[in-house]
Structure 1
Amino acid sequence: MMAVNCTLQILLLLLFILLSPVAITAGATDTFGKGQNVTDGETLVSAGGTFTLGFFSPGASAKRYLGIWFSVSSDAVCWVANRDHPLKDTSGVLLVASDTGDLLLLDGSGEVAWSSNSPNTSSVEAQLLESGNLVVHDQRSKTILWQSFDHPSNTLLPGMKMGKNLWTGDEWYLTSWRSPDDPSPGSYRRVLEYATRLPEVVLWQQDAKAYRTGPWNGRWFNGVPEASTYAHDFPLDVTASKSEITYGYTARPGAPLTRVVVTDAGVVRRLVWDASSLAWKTFFQGPRDVCDAYGKCGAFGLCDASAASSAFCGCLQGFNPASPPAWYMRETSGGCRRNVPLNCGGNETATDGFVLVRGVKLPDTQNVSVDMSISTEECRDRCFANCSCLAYASAEIREGGGGSGCIIWTGDLVDLRYVDRGQDLYLRLAGPEIAVPKGSKFAIATVLAPVASAVAIILVLLFVICWRRKHRISRKRLNDGIPQSSAMTVPSVDLHTLKEATLNFSESHVIGQGGFGIVYKGQLPDGRTIAVKRLRQCALTRKGKCDFAREVEVMARLRHGNLIRLLAYCDEGEERILVYVYMPNKSLDLYIFGEPSLRATLSWRQRLDIINGIAQGVAYMHEGSGESVVHRDLKLQNVLLDDNWRAKVADFGTAKLFVAERVDSSLTIVNSPGYASPESLRAEMTLKCDVYSFGVVLLEILSGQRNGETQRLLLHAWGLWEQDRKMALLDPTVNLPPLSRPDSDVGSELERCIQIGLLCIQESPDDRPAMSDVVAVLTTKTSQIARPNRPGIYNQRTRFVTGQADLTRTTTIDLE
Structure 2
Amino acid sequence: MGSISWGCCVVLLYVALFLKPFPILVKALPGSYWSANTSTSVTNSFPTPDSVKFDDGSFVSIILSSESNGYSYEHTCHCGFFCNQTCDGSLFAIVRIPLKGGDISKSEGSTVVWAANPTNPVSVNASLKLTSERGLVLTDANGTTVWSTNTSSKSVAGLNLTDNCNLMLLDHNNATIIWQSFDHPTDTLMLKQKLMAGQQLISKGGLYSLALTSEGLSAYINSNPPQRYFSGYHNFDYAGDTVKANSSYVQLNSENLTLFSQGLILVLTSPSDFSLEYMRFEPDGHLRAYGEANYAYDFLTRRIRDCDYPTVCGNYGICTNNAQCSCPPPIKGTSYFRQTNDKLPNNGCSLITPLSCEDSKYHVLSELENITYFPITYYPPKINPNHQHINLETCKQACLKDSSCKAVFYNSNNHMRNCYLQSQIFSLMPTDAGQKNYLRVYIKVQKKKSSDGAELGVGGFGTVFEGTLVDDTKVAVKRFDGLSQIKKSFLAEVETIGSIHHFNLVRLIGFCAEKSHGLLLVYEYMSNGSLDKWIFHRNPDMLLDWQHRKKIIIDIAKGLTYLHDDCRHKIVHLDIKPQNILLDENFNAKVSDFGLSKLVDREQSQVVTTMRGTPGYMAPEWLSSVITEKVDVYSFGVVLLEILCGRRNFDRSQPEEAMHLLAIFKKKIEEDQLLDLVDKYNEDMSLHGEEVVNMMRVAAWCLQNDFTKRPSMSIVVKVLEGVVNVESNLDDFFLNPPLPNTRAGVHNQ
> Shorter-chain TM-score category?
0.3 to 0.5
TM-score using structure 1 length: 0.44
More helix by share: 1
TM-score using structure 2 length: 0.48
